[in-house]
Structure 1
């Protein structure tokens, strides 16, 4: 998975549906947006995306999500009729610059992150892989310390996201630890993208459409986690497919991965 920097300049384009997109994230956990991309020969569905506000203050990172399509041609937003390369992005977080703080340029220019060009002329520029972990950590730390309307990581009554799986009446509660992209990435890099229970791999079954898709399951119960808890992705997380994830959470005290494996084996005999 590669990481790309997308740009929004309000001086050039008035994002009239910004509030609608933020409302959509509040309702569904994501907002799907079409964005131009310069690195159209390399970017793929499943890649990480950060959104930078440029042109006028405040300048800084205001959103993050994942690319959900391969590049395609679409008319330029300026109405010229020119075709440009775009991708679809599922944003899991978009900050409102008029009401909320952004991860500003002065913070992004420190340490190794200072080697990155945070004010590119084009949108969809690949970020050096050597600094992406540092960027994810900075973004995570920034979000959990800010007063943000829709904070996916901060402890509150809605710090868990309900995910309903087709064919089962129960819901999977995805915790903030499972949604932490830094932790998720470390887990997947170590264990891969196949389900830890049934070994299902979405890319093998669906090709490009399934590339990079998998749930991440937190082994510890949320009730047992204290405020000082620090996640250890390789120790605490495992990749699982949505169906197995739903079965793990079939009861109040989640089944272990080993227990679900055993039940699958018994059912197949």
Structure 2
């Protein structure tokens, strides 16, 4: 697989908008588009992985700071012979100061120059090395099924629409702090079953009817988001357009002979057995 590394000097014009605001936009919506001027090359194809490398006058701020894909190739520019304008859909931007240091990048790509904005194609072992470095430096949220943008080659990734209210980690934390980490449908307590890391698997279900999602709607995580285990969450969304509610799922479980409750620990089972022996039952 091939990829393109674009050097970006934050001290120079060229970024459309405000970088810090775009970091938040990517976090909320998943993508932000930027335009770049690069040398024309037959290797430029839509869908190509693009890495953003911060360079410039402040070496302490040099490093890998973003990932995206080449969305479109425009006509050659008039300002510089042999150059083309491209659109890059950036799907992960790190805040300034959180970039992967150039010292680490140089350890994988020792011939990469960071003193001036480079535009460079990489493939084979070099492309894999950059991707692995990025994945190691930016672990995803615990229990996330979504790969970190850039951790997989573009050919292995497909973008799908999701409910942003259910995927927003800040909203999820607020909802679970308010309602707890037990599934509100089946009663699964993930911490009791899987240990201290268990609550990380819990998801939140957005219960506001679609008809109420008008322009200007703002989600209230204390009211609109309900903790569900992954299985019950899939069941909830198995009906369209209006998902099943929590009570609907509870009714299904009761009809199947399922009883809400908790899993007994070995100590509790031993205590029950001892009580039965004492009672002679």
Q: Output the TM-score relative to the length of structure 2.
A: 0.50
Q: How much does 1:84 deviate?
A: 4.2
* Distance change (3 Å), C-alpha of 1:84 and 1:20: farther
Q: How many residues align?
A: 170
1:104 to 86, 101, 105: 101
Q: How much does 1:73 deviate?
A: 3.1
* Distance change (3 Å), C-alpha of 1:56 and 1:96: farther
| Structure 2 Cα separation of the partners of residues 185 and 225 of structure 1 | 32
* Distance change (3 Å), C-alpha of 1:68 and 1:155: same
Q: Output the TM-score relative to the length of structure 1.
A: 0.52
| Structure 2 Cα separation of the partners of residues 14 and 43 of structure 1 | 20
Alignment of 1:196-215 (within 5 A): 214=158
Q: How much does 1:47 deviate?
A: 0.4
Alignment of 1:62 onto 2:32? no
* Distance change (3 Å), C-alpha of 1:74 and 1:23: farther
Q: How much does 1:90 deviate?
A: 0.8
| Structure 2 Cα separation of the partners of residues 39 and 84 of structure 1 | 5
Decide whether the 8 Å contact of 1:36 with 1:124 is kept in 2.
no
Q: Choose 1 or 2 for highest CA Rg.
A: 2
Q: Deviations over 1:44-103 (max 9, x none)?
A: 110000001111221111111111112433465xxxx98941211111111232xx3211
Decide whether the 8 Å contact of 1:37 with 1:86 is kept in 2.
yes
* Distance change (3 Å), C-alpha of 1:123 and 1:180: same
| Structure 2 Cα separation of the partners of residues 186 and 51 of structure 1 | 15
* Distance change (3 Å), C-alpha of 1:53 and 1:41: same
Q: Hey, what does 1:263 align to over in structure 2?
A: none
Q: Hey, what does 1:185 align to over in structure 2?
A: 153
Q: How much does 1:129 deviate?
A: 2.3
Q: How much does 1:40 deviate?
A: 3.3
Alignment of 1:10 onto 2:38? no
Decide whether the 8 Å contact of 1:73 with 1:85 is kept in 2.
yes
Per the alignment, in what secondary structure is the counterpart of residue 65 of structure 1?
Answer: strand
* Distance change (3 Å), C-alpha of 1:60 and 1:181: closer
List runs of 5+ in structure 2 lacking aligned partners.
161-189, 198-231, 239-281
Decide whether the 8 Å contact of 1:3 with 1:126 is kept in 2.
yes
